[in-house]
Amino acid sequence: MKTELIKIHERNFNTSPSLFFFSPGRVNLIGEHTDYSGGYVLPISISLGIYAAVSLREDKGIYVYSDDFRSLGVIQTKEPYRYNQSQGYMNYIEGILSVLKRDGYCIGKGLNISLLSTLPKSAGLSSSAALEVLILTLLNDLNDLKLSKKQIVTYAKEVENTYIGVSSGVMDQFIITFGQENQALLLDTETLDYNLIPFDFENYQLVLMNTNKARDLVDSAYNERFNSIEKAKQYFDKPLGKVSLPLYKANVHQFNDLLQKRVLHVVTENARTKAAYEALKVHDYDLLGRLMVESHRSLRDDFEVSCKELDYLVDKNLSYGAAGARMTGAGFGGTMVALYSNETLLNFDALKKAYKAKFDLELDIYIAQGAAGAKSIEGEF
């Protein structure tokens, strides 16, 4: 990976990079569509992510090349920073520069930045948050901005919400910043209190299956779900993420049929997420698996963010012996995660063929390992 990244940088900037950074993707074990209602999530940062090679410039320009978007070539960031759909990924970078400049931070060093990602695009593994946190981390390190990790999370989320226009919660940016290798992280998205818990990658595997179904969160029904949760908040004297099932039942008569289902998912999902954390504490991966399946059914039936491709993959993996399986990420496509013990993990060639025959889509499969949060890296990678 390092050799390829160096070649990319030298080819585009005619100089060798001197610094390297990595920002992981994430898979959410459980706790979906709860992070923007003050609820609980249980994500883990993974070894798939975005690498950056950096060389310093004599001027103050910032030039970026992404190998995922080769047709765009090398792009220079330019003020005034304004969202421009044709710029693609550069909007995230210019959004970060915009909020830092607004708050008086000086980006004094000119940089050449080359990006190389191992994350599949539009797969629900949070490539956008990985990019946001990556750029904030390298700008922080190279310009001695003295941003705390929580400030990095806050700025990354702001860019996603206000500059890009996606009404996401804080989970993605938080786990990508605070994640530790082979540790899941229980996050209270209201208080930002968190607890790390080991995940047993020696005996269990997380298998990620990308549906390759095209989607666009900005234009999808994601924002409708967000607005439904915002509407439900007025009926309670506490964040929706802290509403118990009895309290929900006491107020359910105030909701129309659709809102009943939306809120029921959030309430039950928060309970499942806390139970999953307790299951990991006692190494009960069978219980974790059952909770993942319950989560998927709630996302399918109550929150209605699954799709036929995700449902098919969940059912197939359970029939193959997975302890649990569920969609992960915002839904409407993207990725499914399955929990397997090493004893039951199998070859998925037949599933790839069956999926192709049924949906006329390729099925990309990844075995995820745990990784630490965004950081500068040295040595081989």
The catalytic position among 35, 141, 172, 364 is: 172
How far is 59 from 63, CA to CA, in rounded Å? 11
pLDDT class of 218 with cuts at 50, 70, 90: very low
Same domain? For 268 and 172 the reply is no
Q: What is the percent of the chain where pLDDT is above 70?
A: 98
Q: How does pLDDT run across 46-99, given as a tens digit for each residue? A: 999 999 999 999 999 999 999 999 999 999 999 999 999 889 999 999 999 999
Q: What is the DSSP string of 160-215?
A: IIIII-----SHHHHHHHH--TTEEEEEETTT--EEEEE--TTTEEEEEEE-----
Same domain? For 302 and 322 the reply is yes
What is the torsion angle, in degrees rounded to the nearest 10, for the CA atoms of residue 164, residue 29, residue 330 and residue 313? 140
Structure confidence at residue 151 (pLDDT): 98
Mean pLDDT computed over every residue of the chain: 94
Structure confidence at residue 330 (pLDDT): 84
Same domain? For 214 and 147 the reply is no
Same domain? For 163 and 269 the reply is no
Strand ranges, E, within the chain: 19-30, 40-57, 62-66, 75-76, 110-117, 183-188, 194-198, 204-210, 324-328, 335-341, 364-368, 375-376
pLDDT class of 304 with cuts at 50, 70, 90: very high
pLDDT class of 168 with cuts at 50, 70, 90: confident
Domain count, the chain: 2
What's the CATH code of the domain at 148? 3.30.230.10
Same domain? For 101 and 173 the reply is yes
Across the strands, what pairs with 62?
Answer: 111
Does residue 377 form part of some domain?
Answer: no
What's the CATH code of the domain at 319? 3.30.70.890
Whether the predicted pLDDT of 185 surpasses 50: yes
Check if 172 is active-site.
yes
Same domain? For 43 and 179 the reply is yes
Which of 196, 226, 258 delimits the end of a domain?
Answer: 196
How far is 45 from 159, CA to CA, in rounded Å? 21
Give the mean pLDDT of 177-192.
97
Same domain? For 235 and 363 the reply is yes
Q: Among candidates 157, 184, 187, 151, which has minimal Cα distance to 170? A: 157
pLDDT class of 219 with cuts at 50, 70, 90: low
Give the mean pLDDT of 201-211.
96
The answer, yes or no, to whether the previous bond of 80 is cis (omega within 30 of 0) is yes
Same domain? For 213 and 191 the reply is no
Residue-range definition of the domain harbouring residue 302: 201-368
Same domain? For 307 and 328 the reply is yes
Same domain? For 142 and 262 the reply is no
